[in-house]
Structure 1
Amino acid sequence: MLKALQALAVCALLATPAAAREISPQDQVKAMARGINVLGYDPLWNDPAKARFQMRHFKAIKDGGFDAVRLNLHAFSHMDADNRLDPAWLKTLDQVVQAALAQKLTVILDEHDFGPCGEDPAACKPRLTAFWRQIGEHYRTAPDRVVFELLNEPNKGLDDAVWNGWVAELLPVVRATNPTRNVVVGPAFWNNIAHLDALRLPAQDRHLIVTVHYYLPMEFTHQGAPWNPSTPKTGVTWGTQAEHQRMKADFDGVQAWAKAHDRPMLLGEFGAYDKGDMASRAAYTAAAAREAEARGWAWAYWQFDSDFIAYDVKNDGWVAPIHEALVPR
């Protein structure tokens, strides 16, 4: 009986009258001002009993001054040979979305399978299309605080031209069931700011939020990262006037594009890997967050747990310098 009541509660929250309300992407960006990436590499998706992230952490996120969560979904590994999503995975996703919405957080459903899509676009495309067809139908009555993100960091084989073609094909799949839901789309080459000018969006679709990721300079933000052998050196600091000015100039370029195209912006990822010194990491994080806020963008820090961490799950508390850099007292 308890499980049945819990299931009804999830359905009720995902099908509220707010689902019918149309919110502009500009107002959506204002509402999801400060966000954080969550659950990308958590055992929860394969075995909820082994989860590091607990549903109570959404309250910690809200109480910590955040407005949104970007759920990093690796859905391809939860699809069968016919590209159907595993019902058990969908049930877990519903519980996660419900718990976040209960804290009045905006929820970005980010399809995060950038690796398989960049390596083999031909194999990825039918899976990505099937994902959005199913998720679009599943969440068609969800509140407007549920936002879709087509694909994290298109890269390699998904170059500018190929990705633009995919955007033109994927958006109608979403719009078939969610005609006014706000959708996040970013440029190719890992959502790189330098590729914004190559991004082509359908002019008639005014429910789009454009995202970029910012980790420049990589020799600082990714120092010591084992997956990035081009930045093996550690001991790199950040915070000179010239480094601040470079960031300002980079963000000014993005802002000029946003104004020219009348598109609101989400800084979907930023941060510095935890092999760097804490003072520099905090300075960089604070600078990026304030520069985004000054331009009216929303942002989502990378990430809550795992690496680049903002919250120490083992000790059940915020990493104070990073948290204070993101949400100043």
Structure 2
Amino acid sequence: MKKKIIVHCLFLLISTFSVSAQTKWGKGFAFKQNKKMGRGVNIIGYDPLWKDSTKAIMKDEHFELIKKAGFSNVRIVISPFKFSMNDSTYTINPNFFISLDWAVKTALKNKLIAIVDFHEHNAMQKDPIATKPKLLAMWKQIAEHCKHYPKEVLFEIANEPNMKPEVWNNIHSEAYKIIRQSNPKRTLIIGTINGNQIKHLKDLTLPEDDRNIIVAIHYYSPIQFTHQGAPWSVKNKDLSGIEWTQSDNEMQAVKLDFEIAQEWSKKYNRPLTLGEFGAYEKADMASRVKWTNYVARQAERNSWSWSYWQFDSDFILYDMKSQAWVEPIKNALIP
């Protein structure tokens, strides 16, 4: 009888310790990671380096410039679907990992947090169920490949999952389990559906006992302003001349959106990262500067990390042709 009591007491002690450790982890670690992420920028999503490293536009020195400018993270945009070597096993071409390793290691070398962002939303939204096995198989390979990287490397399960909430909750739950097998302590980023919109935070279901998760939202509101003239934006590609003057009503609209997100964050004790925001080049520069600065400062007031969209290609922060910062945007992000 005594033996049973002792065993039971030990079990209770171990259980209490485990819960306490998990609670301690939950109260601090993901929030600390998010604080370290701070200010950042999306990189290399459309760089030719993925197909041919000799044609890379982004070089080692650009990571140095990003760090010196005052940024703390880079969100590495990856599109692994293009590197599938086999339709049954979805084996990823080794060349993909050469480029990924270079980006991650160069970020770490420059003391930048590296976010590995699975950026296949266009393919996934066409048929989420059909692409699910491919995503899971590829995450298994990526997670296994990256398992020895330090805690400064984070995994974002999927960018802008444009699908029904129940479908996304099922997909990210399965991806989560696969990643946790090889990366039990890796900080993960899981975003909301339909463009990572704030209004869909309420639809996100997360593993309650795992607090090492940061939740991603994106912000491009008002879309008529931020996406005017953008050729891929069907409803806004023909718009022009729309300004953002930082009027009381315009600022209040941003504040109200961010308050919804912040209330959710506090209620569920989950840190938030603003994984994308930006205004397309067809908007006038004065309006872009005001909007960009205001959004970034509001995010910081809420203690969110952020990653501007994006370093080059479009919405650009850095002009690769002239090898110079777009100073008004850089100064709007980091005054």
Give your verdict on TM over 0.5: yes
For the 8 Å contact 2:128–2:167, the answer to whether it is kept is no
For the 8 Å contact 2:274–2:307, the answer to whether it is kept is yes
2:195 aligned residue (184, 190, 196): 190
| TM-score after normalising by structure 1 | 0.91
For the 8 Å contact 1:160–1:189, the answer to whether it is kept is no
1:251 aligned residue (248, 258, 268): 258
Corresponding residue of 1:86: 93
User: 1:140 and 2:147 equivalent?
Assistant: yes
How far does residue 123 in structure 1 lie from its aligned partner after superposition? 2.6
2:315 aligned residue (269, 287, 308): 308
User: 1:233 and 2:239 equivalent?
Assistant: yes
CA distance in 1, matches of 2:49, 2:285: 29
Q: What SS class does the counterpart of residue 158 from structure 2 fall into?
A: coil
How far does residue 308 in structure 1 lie from its aligned partner after superposition? 0.4
For the 8 Å contact 1:31–1:67, the answer to whether it is kept is yes
Corresponding residue of 1:13: none
CA distance in 2, matches of 1:262, 1:122: 30
Greater alpha carbon shift after TM alignment, 82-91 vs 56-65: 82-91
Corresponding residue of 1:324: 331
1:202 aligned residue (200, 207, 211): 207
Structure 1 vs Structure 2: percent identity of aligned residues? Answer: 45
CA distance in 2, matches of 1:48, 1:275: 31
CA distance in 1, matches of 2:297, 2:131: 36
CA distance in 2, matches of 1:292, 1:89: 33
Q: What SS class does the counterpart of residue 179 from structure 1 fall into?
A: coil
Task: Give the letter aligned to residue 32 of structure 1.
Answer: M
Task: Give the letter aligned to residue 178 of structure 1.
Answer: N
After superposition, residues 68-79 of structure 1 pair within 5 angstroms as 68-79=73-84
Deviation track 1:214-239 (CA, whole Å, cap 9, x = no partner) reads 00100000000000120121100002
For the 8 Å contact 1:304–1:310, the answer to whether it is kept is yes
After superposition, residues 112-127 of structure 1 pair within 5 angstroms as 112-127=119-134
Deviation track 1:85-134 (CA, whole Å, cap 9, x = no partner) reads 11111112111111111000000000000011110113311111011111
Corresponding residue of 2:42: 37
Structure 1 or 2: larger helix share?
Answer: 2
Corresponding residue of 1:297: 304
Q: What SS class does the counterpart of residue 321 from structure 2 fall into?
A: coil
How many residue pairs end up in the alignment?
A: 305
| TM-score after normalising by structure 2 | 0.90
Q: What SS class does the counterpart of residue 24 from structure 1 fall into?
A: helix
Query: What is the RMSD of the two structures over their aligned residues, measured on CA atoms?
Result: 1.0
Structure 2 gaps of 5+ residues are 1-24
CA distance in 1, matches of 2:58, 2:130: 31
1:103 aligned residue (101, 104, 110): 110
CA distance in 2, matches of 1:164, 1:92: 30
How far does residue 65 in structure 1 lie from its aligned partner after superposition? 0.6
How far does residue 168 in structure 1 lie from its aligned partner after superposition? 1.5
Task: Give the letter aligned to residue 313 of structure 1.
Answer: M
Task: Give the letter aligned to residue 253 of structure 2.
Answer: R
Larger Rg: 2
1:175 aligned residue (180, 199, 218): 180
CA distance in 2, matches of 1:122, 1:262: 30
CA distance in 2, matches of 1:196, 1:103: 33
Corresponding residue of 1:287: 294
User: 1:159 and 2:137 equivalent?
Assistant: no
CA distance in 1, matches of 2:138, 2:324: 34
CA distance in 2, matches of 1:114, 1:323: 27
CA distance in 2, matches of 1:170, 1:99: 27
Q: What SS class does the counterpart of residue 60 from structure 2 fall into?
A: coil
